[in-house]
Structure 1
Amino acid sequence: MKRFLIYTAKIFLLAILIAIILDGFYTVVFFQSKNRGKVETVVNSKALKYDVVILGSSRANNHFVSKMFEDKGLKTFNYGMSGGHLFEASLMLKLMIERKYEIKNVILEADLNLSNEKEAEGVSAKFLPFIHSSKVIKKHFETQDNFNELYYLPFYRFIKFDSKIGFREVYKILVKEKTNTLDNLGYYPLEKHKNGNMKNNIVNLNPLPHNKYYEEIKAICKSHKINFIAVMTPMCENVKGMNYFEKVKKAYPEIHNYENVVIEDKYFSSCGHMTDNGAKIFTARILKDFFNK
């Protein structure tokens, strides 16, 4: 029995040692990543200067044409993340501040995601390789139920989110395989598809009266003298529950409502995401209203 316990203890200690080694190796690899995703690009940068930084979900990523800002002489990058929530948008801005970015304007897509304070696990996982090296990331995740496992168990986060930050991603970083995430200054253009979902129902959606992460973004901008521009972006014609945007305006009167600037289905790839042509119309309106000086 004693031998068995000693043997088991050795196996356990060996497993812990291997987990620690792998955790360290994976972390080091992610610190070399600069051409695959927006999160690691920010983490592995410092002291950049922007006239305009765009934050939000895919409705930011697909709706704000960065080059049109650049053509106006405004250094811009679209940091919108497909599938992301305000949880990730707030953390992204915190990381930029931690890395001494100088930002004049933040445009935040703030509409549908005001209805929740949840993290989008598939997106938030991209921050986890750096949780031990960034106080900002650690503090942001401390309120999550699984924080202790993610922070204290070596290699656990890489196993749990293997599809996002596991072996395959590590391999692609090592062979320097690029993605299109950083193309077009972060903007991702969409095309019109025959089978695009052109119906949506948001009848049961309600904005939270004080969304924690929206308030964080607003407060960060205020404390760092960044001009904060929060907007609601367009949706297609066949949406049930469009009074949601009126609810947002009532709860957050400072958010600018642009949901009806582009409405025709021909300008949408799906009901909540405009095509490149629709995005250009929308971006032109944003430039006219906020940067036409």
Structure 2
Amino acid sequence: MKQFILFTIKTIVIILFLAVLLDYAYTTVYAHSNNRNKIEDVYNSENRNYDVVILGSSRANNHFVSEMFEQKGLKTFNYGISGGHLFEADLLLKLMMERHYKIKTVILEADLNLSSEKRSETVAAKFLPYIHRSEIIKEHFFKEPDFNSLYYIPFYRYVNFDELIGFREFYKTLSKQPTNVLDKGGFHALKQNKKGSMKNDISSLKPLKNKYYEDIKAICKVNKINFIAVMTPMCENTKGINYFDKVKKAYPEIHNYENVVVEDKYFSSCGHMNNEGARLFTERIINDFFYKKVSNKLTF
């Protein structure tokens, strides 16, 4: 019996030691990488200057063409993340401020994500390698129900989110395999001829007084950043399209651009415009918020 107890204790100690060792190894690799996703790009950077930073979900990532802002002399990066929620957009902006980014304008895609304050498991996991190295990230996750497990159990977060930050991603990061996520100023164009579902039903969604939206707005105010919140287009066959009217009623400052691009030929799926639609939309945003015609000349 004594030998069994000793064996059990030794096994536990060895497992704990290996967990701590692996945790340190994985974290160190992720902490020195900046070419695989937008979160590590921000985490491992500092003192950047932007005229325009774009935040939001795929409806930001696929809809705001960074190149078109750049052509107007506006240094721009699209930090929209497919699958992301306002939970992650808020945290990403906090990291930018912590790393002394100087930003003149933040454009936030704020429409469907206002209906939830939950984190996106697929995107939030990308912050977890740094949870012990960043007080900002730690505090942001602190009220999450699984915080204790994520923070205090060595290597647990890498096992629990293996598909996202586990061995495969660790190996690709270690071997410095790049992705195209950071290309084209962060904008990801969807194909013209590849159609997803052209029907959508958002009638069950209700906009909340979303704490992460309010936090983003407050951060911009404190740091004297011009804050522009917009709703982006959806296809004509969307049920419950009055959701956007509800958002406008709850948040009068959010600009409703849901219907500025409507024809199905400009969409890759009901909630995502293709490249041509994104360019039409981006041109409208630039003209409405950054330029005006004075004496037949464009002025900034």
TM-score in terms of structure 2 length = 0.96
Shift of 1:18: 0.2
How far the C-alpha of 1:25 sits from its partner, in A, is 0.2
Q: Give ranges in structure 1 of 5+ residues lacking alignment.
A: none
Q: Deviations over 1:118-160 (max 9, x none)?
A: 0000100000000000000000000100000000000000000
1:264 maps to a residue whose letter is E
Residue number in structure 2 paired with 1:172: 172
Query: How far does residue 195 in structure 1 lie from its aligned partner after superposition?
Result: 4.3
Residue in 2 aligned with 1:241? 240
Q: Distance in 2 between matches of 1:13 and 1:173?
A: 29
> Residue 253 in 1 paired to residue 241 in 2?
no
Code of the aligned partner of 1:59: R
Distance 1:224 1:167 in 2: 38
Shift of 1:176: 1.2
CA contact (8 A) 2:192 2:276 kept: no
Cα deviations by residue, 1:178-205 (Å, 9 ceiling, x for unpaired): 1110011100000134541000001111
Aligned residue type for 1:216: D
Residue 289 of structure 1 is matched in structure 2 by 288
1:226 match: 225
Return structure 1 stretches of 4+ with deviation > 2 angstroms. Answer: 192-195
- What is aligned with 2:215? 216
Shift of 1:104: 0.5
Q: Paired residues, what number?
A: 292
> Which residue identity lines up with residue 123 of structure 1 in the other structure?
V
Superposed CA offset, 1:55-79 (max 9, x none)? 0000000000000000111110000
What runs of 5+ residues in structure 2 fail to find an aligned partner? 292-299
| Equivalent residue number for residue 38 of structure 1 | 38
- The 1-side partners of 2:108 and 2:123 are apart by 17
Structure 2 residue aligned with 1:52: 52
Matched with 2:273 is 274
Alpha-carbon RMSD: 0.7
Match of 1:77 in 2: 77
Query: Residue by residue, what CA displacement relative to the aligned partner does 1:238-267 show, whole Å, maximum 9, x if unpaired?
Result: 001110000000000000000000010000
Q: Which letter does structure 2 place at the counterpart of 1:105?
A: T
Q: How far apart are residue 3 of structure 1 and its match? A: 1.2
* 1:104-115 alignment, distance < 5 Å: 104-115=104-115
Structure 2 Cα separation of the partners of residues 143 and 76 of structure 1: 33
Alignment pair present for 1:29 and 2:29: yes
Give the AA of the match of 1:176. K
Percent identity of the aligned residues? 66
The answer to whether the Cα contact below 8 Å between 1:32 and 1:173 also exists between their aligned partners in 2 is: no
- What code does the residue aligned with 2:45 have? S
Who is 1:89 aligned against?
89
1:250 partner letter: K
